[in-house]
Structure 1
């Protein structure tokens, strides 16, 4: 029988050396940090260039590095605001809002606080309402309204605390838009309840729209829903009261002529 030769163990030093080489080879594949050695000013310039070209993901990488390296400086504050905007443009709403909330909390006396409030409103406004050019057939009143309310609060804080801000006028316009959308939401719900025969619930939501959004165009339909709801509920006095208010404020009301509008009609045609 042939004797089996014993396997000799490799010296410990050789094993350690081999392991070290393997680790070094693995580490060499780690991506190189392209911002290494860049000054804060260079980082900011690169971020601005990428953002201008629409490369918001690369801009975000530069701005995140810059915020850490320039901590405590005005450049770091600017980087925070630019970072929030880049997050917004790349569709990362939660990150944008978190960055803005952090900026407002850490820098309440910043000369750019009005812009931070405005941008926070815009992030929520665009998320819920969409761009003006894309809403021609979309019934925004059917969507969750929390983003609208959050946007309204940011714009309201801006115009109340900084009425002379360069962003205040646009904020006021957006506030009016939001109020109309919120009023239409209440009317949408009231109309839904009415179509299901839930007349008391319909009247209550319509009345809420009238009380909270008196100057909104949606008030016209809300009053008409109240007239019809009270009629179905057998409450002639309340019906007549609602009809009198409707005729006084909207003497040429098309609802009195045509009834409820078609469900598929664009919501913006009310305006």
Structure 2
């Protein structure tokens, strides 16, 4: 339709109608926009420092739920601020203190991912490790949390070796390793009591090869003496007893092993080609 066509009476009416409809739609859109603006105006942004200080005050008063809400609001309203970074680590800490270990790990991992060069990154990694450590069960149960804790503490030693958390990480890695060794011993004794000596040997062997620095290695060597004698492998039993006596001469487990061998008319005697001898030579070298 040309401009001259629009001047015709019938077409002018149609054009006017279309214009009125267009104006109405525009006014409706403006009205909706105004409603949205009104909603936004009803929810003013609170300054990050105000929220942060309110969160700290709530923490001081022991109101952890309120504190978490304040810190979460900072992350929502001011996601790229320095206060958001600080709030993230404090939220992880609050979850840890309340025993919400899954949430603590999630938030601390997020912090490490987003701010790996931060001064607080080592602390975030420590929260991850501690959260796993607090969930370590007794030796009769699955040790997945123990393994996770050891790996998380290992990250502290590899990424933040000079941090204030390094010494505690080393100590708790050893505690975790002792726990894993204890699980192997518990399972090995279970098999031994049922006469499944080969299965038991494999468990005790694991302790000798992988956990020589734990308190369980002495018993593991003695149990190997018992199992090998039961299997008729006297030379292996003699080697286990000899290695036990050489490394732990005052151990009551060695005295028991010596008596067992004496009852068979033999004494401890080390075979240098035995896996037991190689395991200990390798352990001493490392």
TM-score under structure 2 length normalisation = 0.70
Indicate if the aligned counterparts of 1:56 and 1:89 stay in contact, CA closer than 8 A. Answer: no
Counterpart residue number, 2:25? none
Offset at 1:100? 1.5
> In the alignment, is residue 151 of structure 1 matched against residue 149 of structure 2?
yes
Q: CA deviation at 1:114?
A: 1.1
Structure 1 contact 66–76 (Cα < 8 Å) conserved: yes
Structure 1 stretch displaced more, 60-69 or 216-225: 60-69
Q: Secondary structure at the match of 1:141?
A: coil
Q: Does the CA contact (< 8 Å) of 1:57 and 1:90 recur in 2?
A: no
1:161, distance to aligned residue in structure 2 (A): 2.0
> Cα distance 1:212–1:36, how it changes in 2: closer, same or farther (>3 A)?
farther
Equivalent residues in 2 for 1:134-149 (5 A)?
140-149=138-147
Look up the match of 2:64: 56
> Structure 2: which 5+ residue stretches go unaligned?
1-42, 258-286
CA distance in 2, matches of 1:231, 1:111: 57
Please state how far the C-alpha of 1:258 moved relative to its aligned partner: 5.9
Aligned residue for 1:127, secondary structure, equals coil
Q: Hey, what's the Cα distance between the residues in 2 that align with 1:231 and 1:82?
A: 58
> Taking structure 1 as reference, are residues 211 and 235 closer, same or farther at Cα in structure 2, changes over 3 Å only?
same
Tell me the distance in 1 between the aligned counterparts of 2:164 and 2:78.
Answer: 28
CA distance in 2, matches of 1:90, 1:36: 31
Distance, in Å, in 2 between the alignment partners of 1:143 and 1:46 is 43
Higher helix share: 2
Contact 2:132 2:145 in 1 (8 A): yes
Q: Offset of 1:212 from its aligned partner? A: 0.7
Q: Which residue of 2 aligns with 1:115?
A: 123
Change (3 A) 1:66 1:217: same
- Deviations along 1:189-218, whole A, 9 cap, x unmatched? 112221222211111011001111111111
- Bigger relative contact order, structure 1 or 2 (CA pairs below 8 A, ≥6 apart): 1
RMSD of the TM alignment (CA)?
A: 2.0
